[in-house]
Amino acid sequence: MTFLGDFQSFPCKIKLRSYRWRLFGIIGSLGLPIFFCSVILGLDLKENPSVISAQEFELVFIPEMAPMEEEPSGKTRQISDISFRFQNAWERISDSVSSIITPKKVKDISRRAKSKMAGFSLPFNWIRKIPMKPLWIEKKTGFFVFGQEVIEGLELPSHSPIVFRRLIVRAFFDPKNQSIGKIQISIRGWREE
């Protein structure tokens, strides 16, 4: 009797499996076109929320020594209160930012020391080594600006022993959305005599 009971459920299992495979086959056949459409449209369908696509922030490359927004406001105490939230947002996107900033893009914004920059490469994990500290609050948007002083930036090759060049990163943090809306990359320097 037990044998007969198992035997009777056996065809049922086969039938269920075949329906399951048909259903997964249909879903699977739709999955590939959906994936390619998402790639073409630039959609991010990843399940991992810590991976952030480059579409969530604006990355601006500013040529070496070209004018940059500088608004020292003296409100660093107010900025310091929000530093922890900025650091969390920065941790989430810093690897994405680092992958976009290539040696070629750094060379493209370089105006000086072109021959010295020919063999330039970015050090491993460089984006995590530069300090991202509060600088000022942007008056127009209310964004908190984080970055480093020029002397703290990533050291770049120079054309003269008395000229010092640094790659600097500035991040504009929106306190309302708890996100980084814009990032500026530039080269700054100074001359010592």
Please write the tens of the pLDDT for every residue from 67-91: 776 655 555 556 667 999 999 999 9
Please write the tens of the pLDDT for every residue from 158-171.
999 999 999 999 99
Question: Cα-flanking dihedrals φ and ψ of residue 73, to 5°?
Answer: -105, -10
23 has pLDDT over 80: no
- In angstroms, the Cα distances linking 192 to 115, 124, 143 are 21, 29, 33
CA atoms 30, 36, 42, 45: torsion sign: positive
Please write the tens of the pLDDT for every residue from 147-157.
999 999 999 99
CA atoms 148, 134, 172, 72: torsion sign: negative
Q: Alpha-carbon distance 185 to 101, whole Å?
A: 8
CB neighbours of 97 closer than 8 A, spacing ≥ 6? Answer: 57, 59, 127, 169, 183
0.75 exceeded by the pTM? no
**Helices in the chain by DSSP H: which ranges?**
2-41, 76-80, 83-100, 103-109, 126-129
Is 192 strand, coil or helix?
A: coil
Antiparallel, parallel or unpaired: β 179-191 and 163-174: antiparallel
- Using alpha carbons, select from 85, 96, 125, 108 the residue that is nearest to residue 183: 96
Q: How many C-alpha atoms does 152 have within 13 Å on its Cβ side? A: 14
Query: Cβ-count burial of 100 within 10 angstroms (0-12 exposed, 13-18 middle, 19+ buried)?
Result: middle
Apex CA 159: angle with CA 157 and CA 165, to 5°? 45
Q: Binning pLDDT at 50, 70 and 90, where does residue 55 land?
A: low
Q: Alpha-carbon distance 94 to 84, whole Å?
A: 15
Average pLDDT, the chain: 76
